[in-house]
Structure formats: structure tokens, C-alpha cells
Amino acid sequence: MTTAPGPPGRAGGGRAVFVTAAGTFLAMTAFSGPLSIITAIAADLGSGPVATSWILSSMSLGLAVTMLIAGALGDELGHRRVFLVGAVLLAVGSAVCGLAPGSAVLVAGRIVQGVGAAALVACGLALLSHAVPAGPRRARATGAWGVAMGAGPSFGPLLGALSETLSSWRYAYLVMGLLALVLT
């Protein structure tokens, strides 16, 4: 009995698993990044309590508002294309945050980060379903993606604290921006 080959791109799927998990990990790292360094950010930018709240919640706004839109655009334009645009937006938003001269610019950068993260998260599993055949291999791939989803929020504060300890809170954002560019 012979079996017909699967659809193109389903042979290995290892690269797709790595890239989508890395994208999700990075999105979630960016989400929680300022938690450990918000005091340093607020002091450096002269942010009051309201601006500090906006800094912490602005990525959530970008992510929540565009998650469904990113998924729908992925369905229409292609999940890979939208995933790549998400990586670029996360990189641009991170760079804006790292170079922000004030709270308003940092908030805008965090919103852009949220939009990019929405595209990465919304299209990641769809990319996996196309790259990895159903069954145990897809279950493992989805598990790896889930681990990345859970590990990212834990790593964000560590990256922030490390960058603040070594030099400046700004480097956490610049590192995230560079890593997001690697995804493209």
C-alpha cells in the first residue's frame, strides 16, 4: 500500500515550529518586558502615574484590538505574509520604545508592538497546521508553541532587569527589536 505525499511544506515542519514558537515567545516577552523596569522607565521619561499606567497597558490595547483582524487578514492574504508583517511591526515598535524621548512616544511604540504581536500570535498556529501533518507530530508542535506562549511572559521581566542592570532599560527594547527582525 502506498501513501500519497502530503501537501507541500509538510515534509518536516521543524523550521515552521521554531519560527512560530520564537515569534510567539518574542511577542509575549515584549508584552511583559516593562514589568520589572517600569520604575526606571518612569523616572527616565518623567512619567507620572497616568503615563506609567498607559505604558504598562498600551501593548494590551494594540494586541486586543487587532488580534481578530490579524487572523482575518492571515486568512485573506496568507498567514505567512501577515506573520512576517507582524515581526516587522514588533521590530519597529520595539525600536520606537527603545529610542522614545517621552512617555507618549513609548506608549505609541507599545501599541505598535501589540499590533505586531497580534499578527504573530494569530497566524502562528495556522502556519503550524499547514507545515506539520495532523497527529502526534502536530500535537508536539502545538505543545512547543504553547511552551513559547507561556515562557515569554516569564522571560520579559528578566530581560528588562538584565538590561537595566547592565546599562539601560532601553536595551531590552532594542534587543527585542533585533530579535524580531531575525524572524523575517
Chain center to CA of 136 = 26
Nearest CA-CA partner of 111 in 92, 135, 134: 92
Q: What whole-number distance in Å separates Cα of residue 14 and Cα of residue 11? A: 9
Domain topology for 38-183: Growth Hormone; Chain: A; (1.20.1250)
pTM above 0.75, yes or no: yes
User: What are the residue ranges spanned by the domains of the chain?
Assistant: 38-183
Percentage helix, strand, coil for the chain under 3-state DSSP, each rounded to 5: 85, 0, 15
Nearest CA-CA partner of 170 in 117, 119, 105, 120: 105
Tens digit of pLDDT at every position of the chain (184 positions): 333 333 444 445 788 899 999 999 999 999 999 999 999 999 999 999 999 999 999 999 999 999 999 999 999 999 999 999 999 999 999 999 999 999 999 999 999 999 999 999 999 989 998 899 999 999 999 999 999 999 999 999 999 999 999 999 999 999 999 999 998 8
Nearest CA-CA partner of 151 in 57, 35, 21: 21
Q: What whole-number distance in Å separates Cα of residue 163 and Cα of residue 44? A: 14
Nearest CA-CA partner of 62 in 101, 25, 97: 97
Contacts of 163 (CB under 8 A, 6+ apart): 37, 169, 170, 171, 172, 175
